Amino acid sequence: MKRLIFPMLLSTLMLGAACNSASKKTSEVKNVEEECYASKDKEYAKPNAKGGFGDVITRDAAVSLTEFTKSYDRKAAQTVKLKGKVLEVCEQKGCWMSLDNGSEGPMMVHFKDYAFFVPRDIKGKNVVIEGEIKSDTTSIKELKHYAADGGKSKEEIEKITETKVELTFMASGVIVEK
């Protein structure tokens, strides 16, 4: 009987810790979304030592997004440095942006570990981004969230009824061209 008590006690402690960790992650995600909507008056885009955002990167060897995607093998993620024009930015805090990818439509750009943001007024500007590109499916909920963040009307948001397979980018660093 004593041999069973210790393993049962250990299992109970481990399960409790796992549940606590999972609930903490869920609450952190909710807090990030709530903060995003409540942050209109704050400035979140803090430049790095070289005036960019996130990791310090250079413009060297950056390839045009539209040129890169013509030959990109969408089956595997790839680390690259790209340049492109900003179509849209999260109006709430600059926590995402989309880049013009020609006839393929916009490419969504997120920021690694949600650790940095870009200015909310860079729509139409050219940027250099470094990070990981991949093909991914975006849920209806996420698409509606991005549409709301981008200032779309309620009618436009309600028209979103299907998931979308698209190129996404997780940027570790961004340079906004002057």
pLDDT of the residue at 74: 83
Residue 118 carries which side chain, given as an amino acid letter? V
H, E, C per residue of 92-127 = CCCCEEEECCHHHCCEEEEEHHHCCCCCCCCCCCEE
What pairs with residue 98 in β-bridges? 88, 108
pLDDT at residue 135 tops 50: yes
Q: Tell me the pLDDT band of 43, cut-offs 50, 70 and 90.
A: confident
Strand partners for 135: 167
Which residues make Cβ contacts (< 8 Å) with residue 123, sequence separation at least 6?
Answer: 86, 87, 88, 89
With 0.75 as the threshold, say if the pTM is over it.
no
Structure tokens of 170?
Answer: 């997780």
What confidence category does residue 5 fall into, taking pLDDT thresholds of 50, 70 and 90? very low
* Residue 57 DSSP SS3: coil
Q: Which CATH architecture has domain 43-176?
A: Beta Barrel (2.40)
Query: For residue 40, what are the contacts with CB-CB under 8 A and spacing of at least 6?
Result: 91, 92, 93
Rounded Cα–Cα distance for residues 37 and 50 (Å):
29
Across residues 154-171, what is the average pLDDT?
93
How many CA atoms are closer than 13 Å to the CA of 120, on its beta-carbon side? 16
Confidence of residue 175 (pLDDT cuts 50, 70, 90): very high
| Tens digit of each residue's pLDDT (9 = 90 or more) over 54-106 | 999 999 999 999 999 998 888 889 999 999 999 999 988 999 999 999 988 89
- End-to-end Cα distance, the chain: 73
Mean pLDDT of all residues in 4-19? 43
Q: Is the pLDDT assigned to residue 4 strictly greater than 80?
A: no
pLDDT digits (tens, 9 = 90+) for 107-129: 999 999 999 999 999 999 999 99
Helix (H, G, I), strand (E, B) or coil at 54: strand
139-162 per-position pLDDT tens digit: 999 999 988 888 889 999 999 999
Q: What is the pLDDT of residue 6?
A: 44
How wide is the angle at C-alpha 98 spanned by C-alphas 35 and 158, nearest 5°?
Answer: 70
Mean pLDDT of 10-37: 41
Angle at 98 between CA 37 and CA 54, to 5 degrees: 75
